[in-house]
């Protein structure tokens, strides 16, 4: 082996190996710090690109989930209102049936009529206040709406279900006359059927939104797992690797020290 004070091949090789070890340590420490095996395109360009695309899909699904949650709350508000209206309609029918008794005195009819009107007014109050985030599906002037359901812009149509006294055709019913009570009975039966039909319609839409929301959540979880598989670091493996590299680094420093001491042997030739 050639001995030279100008060129120390052993030191150069030792330095190269030490530099490589240091680079590997930096990569391992970054993985442990960030929890990511691939934190940038330089580490694995294809995996990083795929993960970024999947992250974009996850973000889009997050927006869809928010829209579905908002739509579900809007429909549920309307359903709650209709259930309350249905309960009131049941009470109103009881008053109507009582008013249809033969030989009922005038005072009793007036009392039943007043109760009937009070219940009808309560329906109007419920319908007017059944609003979520500016949308009311049951008031007289209610319009249809739609709920975003997919990242490509597809929507779930939600029809309005007006439930005011006029729509139910009970706005002018009276119980203070025998004829009025008889007419009111037919009207109230029809109104109860209408409320049930509208409740069923909203219930179907609510179920569809719920199913889509559950699917969106599952799809989001799948994509997150996919991103994790692509870029997440195995911390147990990286920790073991770091310990090995630390030992390798110490040995590399010693090897470099030994290699740098090599030229000192030249002095023995002149002793």
Tell me the CA end-to-end span of the chain in Å, nearest whole number. Answer: 20
Matching residue, tokens 């997150």: 224
Cut 0.95: pTM above it: no
- Residues 242-271, buried b or exposed e (16+ Cβ, 10 A)? eeebeebbeebeebbeebeebbeeeeeeee
Per the CB < 8 A criterion, the answer to whether 8 and 263 are in contact is yes
Q: Please name the fold of domain 77-230.
A: f41 fragment of flagellin, N-terminal domain (1.20.1330)
Q: What is the pLDDT of residue 17?
A: 87
What are the sequence ranges of the domains in the chain? 9-35+233-270, 77-230
User: Average of pLDDT values for 225-249?
Assistant: 87
pLDDT digits (tens, 9 = 90+) for 58-109: 999 999 999 999 999 999 999 999 999 999 999 999 999 999 888 888 899 8
pLDDT digits (tens, 9 = 90+) for 19-69: 898 888 888 887 788 888 888 888 889 999 999 999 999 999 999 999 999
Neighbouring-strand partners of residue 232: 36
């Amino acid at each position: 082996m050639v001995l030279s004070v100008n060129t120390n091949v052993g030191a150069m090789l030792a330095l190269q190996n030490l530099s490589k070890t240091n680079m590997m340590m930096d990569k391992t420490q970054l993985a442990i710090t960030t929890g990511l095996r691939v934190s940038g395109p330089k580490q694995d360009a294809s995996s990083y690109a795929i993960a970024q695309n999947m992250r974009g899909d996850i973000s889009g699904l997050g927006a869809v989930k928010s829209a579905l949650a908002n739509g579900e709350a809007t429909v549920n508000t309307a359903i709650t209102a209709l259930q309350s209206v249905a309960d009131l309609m049941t009470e109103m029918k009881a008053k109507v049936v009582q008013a249809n008794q033969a030989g009922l005195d005038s005072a009793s009819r007036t009392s039943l009529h007043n109760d009937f009107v009070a219940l009808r007014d309560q329906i109007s109050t419920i319908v007017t206040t059944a609003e979520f985030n500016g949308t009311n599906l049951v008031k007289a002037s209610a319009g249809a709406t739609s709920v975003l359901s997919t990242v490509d812009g597809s929507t779930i149509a939600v029809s309005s279900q007006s439930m005011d006294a006029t729509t139910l055709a009970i706005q002018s019913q009276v119980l203070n006359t025998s004829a009025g009570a008889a007419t009111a009975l037919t009207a109230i039966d029809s109104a109860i059927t209408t409320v049930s039909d509208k409740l069923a319609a909203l219930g179907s839409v609510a179920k569809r939104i719920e199913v889509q929301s559950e699917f969106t959540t599952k799809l989001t979880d799948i994509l997150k797992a996919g991103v994790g598989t692509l870029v997440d670091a195995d911390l147990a493996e990286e920790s073991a690797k770091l310990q090995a590299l630390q030992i390798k680094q110490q040995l590399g420093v010693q090897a470099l020290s030994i290699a740098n001491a090599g030229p000192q042997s030249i002095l023995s030739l002149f002793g």
